[in-house]
């Protein structure tokens, strides 16, 4: 049990050191570099870049994300979609954006639509 704990602490120290090196060498791109190293071609012995396992680089990427404030868990397209406003032609400060259909009387709405023609 003690040997397992020592190996685990050593792996954590190595991940911390690799995270610091990536941040120092790659700056804002450190998270992407760690994920790229995680996805690198796996050698027959199950290791990737610098003889580390994909799990090691995944751990490094999470450490880098915590230190740099990188949002983890969402890909770029999902983050962009969650930040976007998909309502057509309306701005957030547009008062019409807050109008609900229940506030319109159906007969008045029909008259308004027919009067346009």
Which tens digit of pLDDT belongs to each residue from 81-112? 766 666 565 555 554 444 444 556 778 878 88
pLDDT for the residue numbered 98: 47
* 44 pLDDT tier (thresholds 50, 70, 90): confident
User: What are the start-end ranges of the H helices in the chain?
Assistant: 2-26, 30-39, 54-68, 76-83, 106-115
Mean pLDDT of 39-53: 78
Say yes or no to pLDDT of 21 above 50. yes
pTM of the full structure: 0.58
Round to whole Å and give the CA distance between 108 and 117. 15
CB 34 within 8 Å of CB 61: yes
Round to whole Å and give the CA distance between 101 and 117. 22
């Amino acid at each position: 049990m003690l040997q397992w704990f020592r190996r685990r602490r050593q792996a954590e120290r190595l991940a911390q050191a690799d995270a610091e090196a990536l941040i120092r060498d790659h700056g804002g791109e450190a998270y992407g570099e760690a994920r790229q190293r995680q996805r690198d071609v796996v050698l027959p012995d199950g290791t990737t870049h610098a003889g580390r396992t994909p799990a090691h680089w995944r751990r490094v990427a999470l450490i880098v994300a915590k230190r740099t404030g990188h949002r983890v868990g969402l890909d770029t397209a999902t983050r962009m979609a969650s930040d976007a406003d998909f309502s057509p032609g309306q701005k957030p400060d547009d008062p019409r954006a807050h109008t609900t259909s229940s506030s319109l009387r159906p007969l008045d709405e029909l008259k308004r639509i027919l009067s346009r023609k």
